[in-house]
């Protein structure tokens, strides 16, 4: 049943997945923050889903378009993605892989990649390696990001590379979360 619900949520999010356009203006006066992330995927990535997380409990605070952000995937290989996010602590909650009419949603609730977003700040989360067995954080690629940013002339804030952290989280507000790391120490 959970897989059916996750697939339905994924389909809903993929219909409203957001990515910024190349003419987007971003500066330090923006109410949202801007994130950039490099992703290397050996499977055909169709969607990354990020969810806002309560910074004290590791419980997700919103669902299905009411606090989630989706970024359309670009298939296999290494790609960069950028999107605006409201301020708060966010976690990569799932990745959707597909091809040939098949979709697989991989939840990362045992160890999602978390990061904090602040208004007017542009952060580079680094490079993620994604597969069916979960996310792995690799070293950032500042040169690759600089090349990608050439497509966005109206982004006037330089990216700051941040170190995301791994933490379990829960979609269930009533479930205790063992090993919760709401913020790195």
**150 lies in a domain?**
yes
Q: 75 lies in a domain?
A: yes
Domain residues for 16?
A: 2-167
Task: Look at residue 23 and tell me if it is in a domain.
Answer: yes
Q: Which residues contact 136 (CB under 8 A, 6 or more apart)?
A: 128, 129, 130
Does residue 31 register a pLDDT over 90?
A: yes
Domain count, the chain: 1
In this predicted structure, what is the pLDDT of residue 117?
A: 93
**pLDDT at position 8:** 41
Task: Kindly state the average pLDDT of the residues 128-139.
Answer: 74
Q: Are 8 and 63 in contact (CB under 8 A)?
A: no
Q: Which range among 23-27, 60-64, 123-127, 173-177 shows the weakest confidence by mean pLDDT? A: 60-64
Domain-located, residue 62? yes
E-assigned strand segments in the chain: 33-53, 68-85, 88-99, 102-107, 112-117, 122-131, 134-138, 160-161, 165-167
Residue-level pLDDT at 9: 41
- The answer to the question of residue 28 being in a domain is yes
Sequence-distant (6+) residues with CB within 8 A of 85 are 32, 33, 34, 35, 50, 69, 117
The CATH number of whichever domain residue 96 belongs to comes to 2.60.40.1120
């Amino acid at each position: 049943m959970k897989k059916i619900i996750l697939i339905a949520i994924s389909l809903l999010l993929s219909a409203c997945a957001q990515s910024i356009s190349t003419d987007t203006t971003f500066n330090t006066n923006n109410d949202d923050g801007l994130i950039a992330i490099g992703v290397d995927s050996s499977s055909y990535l169709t969607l990354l889903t990020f969810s806002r997380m309560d910074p004290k409990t590791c419980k997700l605070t919103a669902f299905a378009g009411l606090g989630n952000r989706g970024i359309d995937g670009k298939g296999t290989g290494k790609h960069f993605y950028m999107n605006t996010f409201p301020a708060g602590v966010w976690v990569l909650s799932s990745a959707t892989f597909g091809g040939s009419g098949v979709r697989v949603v991989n939840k990362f609730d045992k160890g999602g990649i978390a990061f904090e977003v602040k208004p007017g700040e542009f952060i580079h989360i680094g490079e993620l390696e994604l597969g069916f067995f979960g996310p792995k954080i690799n070293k950032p690629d500042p040169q690759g990001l600089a090349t990608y940013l050439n497509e966005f002339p109206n982004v006037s804030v330089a990216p700051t590379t941040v170190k995301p952290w791994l933490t379990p989280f829960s979609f269930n507000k009533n479930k205790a979360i063992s090993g919760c790391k709401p913020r790195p120490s």
